[in-house]
Amino acid sequence: MQAEQKRFVEKRFSAREWRGQSKHGRRSIRGFSFEQWKVPGWKLQRVQHDHPAKQTTVHSLWSHGESTSELLAVDVFECSSVEAAHDQVLEALGNMQSGVVERLDGKNTPGDVAFGLNDTMVLFALANLVVLIRNAGPSVVQVGEIARQLDKFLLRRLESKPTDKD
């Protein structure tokens, strides 16, 4: 992201309030895959692993049963640190045109920090991971509950592992 745009995004989403902070200290998750994560009623259509310089990205596409009218794109970015994950959050926010994407808060908010729009898109960071859940099919579905399920799944993995000192 270009420097001026990054400054705009940091300011708009009050990055100072959350950047670099995680409830899970320096714990991290390595080698994420969708193999063990099941969402009732949803079928994994496609998964693709990218390995660019900064992080590993797992792109996935899910359909609601056999229908392709309800599709979800779930992307997981595995970053080197909490700081890198939060940079990735800003990068994702910088790719969203809407002026009304907002920070999510409250008891059921997934991750260390989360952003969303009308429960049809959720972006959150948990430790060193960034998760982006978006609709990809013409029939729009709510994504909040799915985000919370994935958050719980990741939390279990995070808490079952010894602390990674990066």
Partner 1 sequence: MIAIEAIKFNHDTNAATHDAFNIRQNATKFISVPEWRRFICVNPEDSRAAYAIAPTRGNPITIEVSLSSTDPGVAFIEVRVEHQVKARPVNFVNGKSGFVGFELIKPPVTHGHVGIWDIAWHWEYRVGPHHPWQHFATTRHRVYVVLDVPTDPWKQAPYNAGNTQLPWTDVLDYACHWAEGATSKDLAAALVTQRVYALGPAIVTYDCPGGGSSHYSWGSFDCTAFIDRLRGGIGNGIYLNCSDCATIVSTFADALGCNLWQSKMGWGFALNELLAIGSNTWQTACGWGSFSYHEVAWEGGGTANDDVFDGCLQVDGDGDPTVAPHIPLLPQDLRFGNPGDLLYRDRLATPAGRPNCNPQPATKQRRLVV
Interacting residues with partner 1 (CB under 8 A):
2, 4-5, 8-9, 12, 45-46, 52, 61, 68, 71, 73, 92, 94-101, 117-118, 120-121, 132, 134-138, 140
Within 13 Å and on the Cβ side, how many CA atoms surround 122? 29
Which of 23, 41 has the CB closer to partner 1? 41
Count CB atoms within 10 A of the CB of residue 134.
16
Which of 10, 164 has the CB closer to partner 1? 10
Residue where the block lists tokens 């794109």 = 73
Which of 69, 108 has the CB closer to partner 1? 69
CA distances from 89 to 68, 83, 113, 132 (A): 28, 10, 9, 9
Taking the complex as a whole, how short is the minimal distance between the CB of residue 23 and partner 1, in angstroms? 25
Taking the complex as a whole, how short is the minimal distance between the CB of residue 32 and partner 1, in angstroms? 19
> What are residue 129's phi and psi, to 5 degrees?
-100, 150
Distance CA 21, CA 112 (A): 7
Taking the complex as a whole, how short is the minimal distance between the CB of residue 156 and partner 1, in angstroms? 27
- Residue 142 tokens read as 């709510």
Which of 21, 69 has the CB closer to partner 1? 69
Taking the complex as a whole, how short is the minimal distance between the CB of residue 87 and partner 1, in angstroms? 14
